[in-house]
Structure 1
Amino acid sequence: MKFGLRHYLRSYFAPQAAVLMYHRVAEVKSDIWDITVSPENFEYQLQILQQSGNVISLSELTGNASKNRLKSGNIALTFDDGYADNYHFAKPLLEKYKLPATFFITTSNIGKKTEFWWDELENLILFTEHLPTFFSMNINGEDLNFELLQEAELTPEQQQINRNWKACEETPPNMRCAMYLKLWQTLRPLPQKKQQQELQKLRDWAGKAISPRSGYESMTENQLRDLSRNPLFEIGAHTVSHAALGFHDITFQEKEIRENRNLLRDITNQPVDLLSYPYGHFNTQTLQAANQTKFKAAFTTREEFVKNQTEPLQMGRFQIKDLPPEKFSAQFNLVQRWC
């Protein structure tokens, strides 16, 4: 009984570190997944993080955890996907405050004027001014039917409702939002080629051609190469096509991870030893694929602290939202208190 209590106390008071997850640093009209931080708020957040004196590189944090040398209060910063705004806005601010960060890069859109599929879908369904009144289509073997009725014409009031919706925590406030969420859920498990085939059916239905918006593109090879030259920054893997890995067999998963890593190595001439799972989606075969490709650590989207005993291929992170200084400081102090 004494051993059990001692073991519990040791576990409860064990050193803990936090990995913070960003995606975009930009000014956008809509952010339904709550993944974008404005440059102004991002700089305030970095000021608070710098003052803490606890920000270290992700490689150092994971290395300490693997050697049972983790220090409480340590924090590492990560960015997922590889949006070009990471280069234009996040990079100079991180350099200004001399804070290290890891950028997990999806490679299929590098250097292309192409939006990620979820961004295009959001714009297509939520913000197209005129849509057909009825939607009836088979998407990936599932018959989907929606009656947009008066929502087919996008009013300023309707547009504002759609912009303010937070899909990750709120139920859809109208039919357009419900349609978007269902289509997102249906498209997410698909491989990229199939996603694009189904997206083309949606474009045809909406009468919209592919028209990538400025500000939604990924970094170019030169930008990625320049980013990697700064010793503050390291590049991590994030699959070729941002695949939801757990929906696919191990051969597909390993190919997505390996080809992504190889291209990033070729572009940056740097080691790529860290991986993050797109959407935080993984299964036992994903862990097997990550192990077979010899990644030192891999990251989910589960809001969990990193401890010395944390499984290296299932490390958690805390998503950071577009919080002003006071709210971010309160959240940061809470995280620090538990670290």
Structure 2
Amino acid sequence: MFFQLRQGLSKFLSLTGGINYFWKRLPNGVYAFNYHRIGDKEKTPFDRAIFSCTQNAFEQQVIELKKHFKIINTVELAKLIAHGEIVNDRYAVITFDDGYLDNFTEAFPVLKKHKIPAVFYLTTELLESRQITWWDEIAYLLRKSHGMKYQLPNGTLEYTLEKDNIDKIIQRIMSDIKQTKNLSVLTALQDIRSKFPEARTKLLAENHELFMGWEHAEELLKQGMEIGSHTLTHPILTQLENEQHRKEIVESKAILEKRLNCTINSIAYPVGRYYCYNQNTFEYTAEAGYKIGFNNEPGYHRSICNALDINRFCVATDDINYLKYECCFT
């Protein structure tokens, strides 16, 4: 409901010309824009909520961002923070989480065409296998089991998996999984697998290549893009014991640096909402030697007191006016 209200306000302001008035007058500071998947979400049986926009919409957004911001990478950002210079201009950082293959096939050509740098946050385990992530598998199993019912372990709500409303139901269940402290994502996944064995059998029989490999990461670096860490396995860090929490952050950096022969300057915390990382996250991130850490809480920065806790606007629509609205009024 909140998202629909903000969309309505952005449409009203775009019709009246108000959105461009405020957009052109954005204050100086750091604005980070985060993308996940690029493409047509209606074509996937997996999690559609992580599609940011189509390729055409992405190109229009890139053109607009290039026009109104100085686009930088995290090495430049760290220097600006160190020298207290982030208010000297209007800076943008473009990031991609998870390392989906469409980042390389759909987004990368647009970035090259317009000579725009971006940071790609990669989960090391996904670079080394063709596995399906927990969120994509959950979405697939629920989508392929429409007409049935599901209730999370120890949950109070029972969901009917209605075909015409399946995307909304999947996101409600996904939100419950992410925010329930006494239920890990892997426990939820195992429960869903056990409840929907036919869908699980079908998934195992299919062949899906969803993520980039090391060769794609090497090509991105060769073409001037930046690689960052998105941990070893993409867990919700606050659901982990301290040692595993530390391992996800420290070892992913070491693996990326060894395999790609480069310095990994930054990390993006998986899921990235305020309940998915904590003070331990910052301590392990500093210990590993990262200079920049990104969350997924919306907002821009006029000053940055903690370089390991930087906000990002998560793009979730083709509508460029909504993106402008988020920057102007968040």
Verify same fold: TM over 0.5.
yes
**1:267-311 CA distance string (max 9 Å, x none):** 211110101111112111111111111211101111122333331
1:309 alignment partner in structure 2: 304
Residue 116 in 1 paired to residue 133 in 2? yes
Q: CA deviation at 1:196?
A: 5.6
For residues 51-200 of structure 1, what are the structure 2 equivalents within 5 Å? Answer: 51-70=67-86, 71-129=88-146, 131=148, 135=150, 139=153, 142=154, 146=158, 148=160, 158-163=162-167, 165=168, 172=169, 179=173, 181-183=175-177, 185=179, 190=184, 197-200=190-193
CA drift of 1:144 comes to 6.8
Q: Which amino acid aligns with 1:319?
A: C
Closer, same or farther in 2 for the Cα pair 1:258/1:302, shift >3 Å? same
Contact kept, 8 Å, 2:130 with 2:208, in 1: the verdict is no
5 Å matches for 1:10-21?
Answer: 15-21=28-34
Do 1:299 and 1:317's aligned partners in 2 also have CA atoms closer than 8 Å?
yes
8 Å Cα contact 2:37-2:50 kept in structure 1: no
- If the length of structure 2 is used for normalisation, what is the TM-score? 0.78
Paired residue total: 298
> In structure 2, do the counterparts of structure 1 residues 290 and 191 end up closer, same or farther at CA, with 3 Å as the change threshold?
farther
Cα deviation, 1:87-123, whole Å, max 9, x if unaligned, reads 1111111000000101111121214222211111112
Whether 1:224 and 2:217 are equivalent positions in the alignment is: yes
Q: Which protein is richer in helix relative to its size?
A: 2
Which segment drifts farther, 78-87 or 256-265? 256-265
Q: RMSD of the TM alignment (CA)?
A: 3.2
Q: Does 1:288 align with 2:283?
A: yes
Structure 2 contact 231–270 (Cα < 8 Å) conserved: yes
Please list the CA deviations of residues 218-254 of structure 1 after superposition, one character each: whole Å capped at 9, or x if unmatched. 11111111112222x1111111111111222321111
SS where residue 115 of structure 1 aligns? coil
Unaligned runs of 5+ in 1: 1-12, 152-157, 166-171
Whether contact under 8 Å (2:57, 2:319) holds in the other structure is yes
- Alignment of 1:297 with 2:313, yes or no, is no
Q: Is the counterpart of residue 46 in structure 1 residue 70 in structure 2?
A: no
Q: TM-score, normalised by structure 1?
A: 0.76
User: How far apart are the structure 2 equivalents of 1:207 and 1:23?
Assistant: 25
> Which has the greater radius of gyration?
1
Q: Distance in 2 between matches of 1:76 and 1:52?
A: 12
- The one-letter amino acid of 1:279's match is V
Match of 1:244 among 219, 232, 236: 236
> CA separation in 2, counterparts of 1:20 and 1:212?
36
Q: Which amino acid aligns with 2:71?
A: V
Structure 2 vs 1, CA of residues 82 and 213 (structure 1 numbering), >3 Å: closer, same or farther?
farther
Separation of aligned partners in 1, 2:59 and 2:121: 21
Distance 2:175 2:27 in 1: 40
Residue aligned with 2:33, SS: strand
- Contact 1:237/1:274, CA 8 A, preserved across alignment: yes
Shift of 1:322: 2.2
Going from structure 1 to structure 2, the CA distance change for 1:303 and 1:145 (only over 3 Å counts) comes to closer
Label 1:96 to 1:147 Cα distance change in 2 as closer, same or farther (>3 A): closer
Gaps of at least 5 residues in structure 2 are 1-25
Aligned equivalent of 1:268, options 239, 260, 274: 260
Q: Is the 1:253–1:286 Cα contact (8 Å) retained in structure 2?
A: yes
